[in-house]
Amino acid sequence: MDSQAVVAHADHDHDHNDLLPSISLFVNDVDEKRAEIKKAFNESFDLYEEIHYLVEDQGHYARADPLRHPLIFYLGHTAAFYMNKLISARVLRNSDRIDADIESLVAIGVDEMSW
């Protein structure tokens, strides 16, 4: 590998680590750790939402595979998944749900569907 390729590879790895750093679960202050997890969630979900801005409107409603939901489903599905995990971890309260009916509608993914 030439020196330019090594530098490019190193830069790529560095950028990846800066994007989504791991969170240490060793805590001194539970409230501080909850705030850190919530901040990490918000930052990672913002990145996920930005991916959807790259898709043209009609692309959100097309099925790339007949066994999968349209792309728009996964935006809601991922949000509902995170909400359920954050509530289970007691980072958020059940009363923090934005719309329990919509979250319930998109919570079940393709793999959980009965065939």
Q: Domain segments of the chain: what residues?
A: 24-112
pLDDT per position as a tens digit, 2-20: 333 333 333 444 444 556 6
In the structure, what pLDDT confidence band is assigned to residue 83 with cuts at 50, 70 and 90?
confident
How far apart (Å, rounded) are the C-alpha atoms in residues 6 and 1? 7
pTM of the predicted model over 0.75: no
Alpha helices in the chain (DSSP H): 3-19, 30-53, 71-88, 100-107
Give me the pLDDT at residue 39, please: 87
How far apart (Å, rounded) are the C-alpha atoms in residues 45 and 79? 8
Give me the pLDDT at residue 105, please: 85
In the structure, what pLDDT confidence band is assigned to residue 95 with cuts at 50, 70 and 90?
very high
Count of residues making up the chain: 115
Does the pLDDT value for residue 90 go beyond 50? yes
